[in-house]
Structure 1
Amino acid sequence: MTATAQESQSLVLIVDDEPFIRMILRHFLEREGYKIAEAQNGREALTAFNQLHPDIILLDAIMPDMDGFECCTHLELLDCSKHTPVLMITGLEDQESVDRAFAVGAMDYITKPIHWPVLRQRVKRLIEQSQLQQKLEAVNLELQRLATIDGLTQIANRRRFEEYLNQEWQRLKRDKRPLSLILCDVDFFKLYNDTYGHRVGDRCLQEIAKAIKDIIKRPGDLVARYGGEEFAVILPNTDTEGATHVAKKICHTVRKLAIPHENSEVSPYVTISAGFTTEIPQSDSDLEEMIAAADRALYQAKAAGRDRFVQDILLPKSKNEW
């Protein structure tokens, strides 16, 4: 038994209508250290695949009921089969059959009578390639995630905020549904950093980010670090009443964290100001104006004494502005 097969204990699904062929393939591959499952036609193979999710399929081309070509075509339609290589084993070796095997999704092809050292290497190589591809995809997904996450607070970063806001703006423009945007700013945060130091300031931002994220529970909503001590919340399919509820809850929740701020001018604890706006995107409306409206509302909340939320009303354009 090879060390690689021992370590991975990969599962091989053998699909052939001849019991003798299945038996000799089983004995050979078991000696190589693989686990084995069997099916005698394409229909049984599909059932076995859905139940067992093998690491590779050795598939005979010519079988009754459902042959290997049709079986391979059905496997290609299954999302969970994209990492499972198919090695076609058959007595056919004409150009048309070989081309057809690759056309329906087979990764490799070997003819009968089987050359056992060749089979051993091809099974090993196909499994290794599949495992490597899965690892690379997992790494790429993690890199994509890291590219959209703020390193300090572990919520979405500014880049992800802009991408998602534009995506939802376009979608809701088509659906004619409301979109709400909340911008938040931690009150007197420069004074907080000056008083307690930047390391404590970082912990404060982390606590606030977590508190806001815990409030925003719908899968389609997004909490992002907008910049510095600013946070943004995107609320698709949310009207003014819903956005008011969320903005109020954010201010209340941050207040209830009771993070000491002895030099705040509004409270002995850290507080947050929020501004929001709600719009049903139109063909003649402007996403940047929506962001500016939320920012105006945030400025109004600060000017009114901080530790509060304010809504900015986006007025319809007059005919002179069209």
Structure 2
Amino acid sequence: MKKIFCIGELLIDFVAENQGKDLTKAKEFSKKAGGAPANVSCAISKLGGDSVFIGCVGNDPFGTFLLRILETEKVDISLAQKSDTFTTLAFVSLDEDGERDFVFSRGADRELTYDSSYKSYFENNILHFGAATALLGGPLEEAYSRYLFDGLTKHAFISFDPNYRVDLWKNKVDSFKRKCESFIEKSHLCKFSLEEAQLLSGKKDVKEACEVLHEIGTEIIVITLGSEGTWLSTKKFQKTIPSIKVTPIDTTGAGDAFIGCLLQQIAKHSSIDALLADESILTNMVARANKAGAITTTNFGAIESLPTLQQLDS
């Protein structure tokens, strides 16, 4: 089974309690571990995969808390870094349908520095790039781009999730699109929300959006559609894969559970050619990943809500 290296941010989510989406009215917050790549690494590990997290936290109690959470979930944190900059924080609010809004206070996540020794670990493995904060400049963005190059030279399978956050890209949407394109071009698999696919392609129709994104370069596209399931697209076929029915409480981490479950399954296959050769293989993988995402929405918090193998198989 291939190792899966998840590269990007690890942060504290302060989730507002019992006030809906208006953060101005929030008085109480619960501390949760967060950050899309970290969530993905935990999702993989919970399902029996071999995940490694590459990111940076502060040399402070919050950073220690976060790394302990990953260790508890059996994620390899040997390549994680610590900085004297304070750990990144996100303040999160939820509406009655479990949908989220974010305000970020950035810190140590941006301080991840490139380490050339990591390159040797990437040989024929999987690299997943979760980009919520990674394209905002600084050492993290430089490291991110160099690890992408290293992964390609080491014949790694490349996965990319842009994790678009409005609060982080106000008045900079064109820059976000431009920076994402180089990752879409070089990735074997891209996971988008419908909003992200429309934004990055300039097309409202999901099929037309995928045509544009395939032209940029990626071979496999999955577009999560919430309760409607996932749109799966390759250069040979496109279809909607339905999800299971649940009553959502908190959608935080659902997309991360989805892509983590999908990557954990891909890690068992020898090559991308094997995945693309049989339409039913990818279809079944996405259906299982849909279930993982749906289960995650039925509880509060991302990491603690990620399904185990037993839950997924029941």
TM-score, with structure 1 as normaliser: 0.30
- Larger Rg belongs to: 1
Which has more strand, going by share of residues? 2
TM-score, with structure 2 as normaliser: 0.31
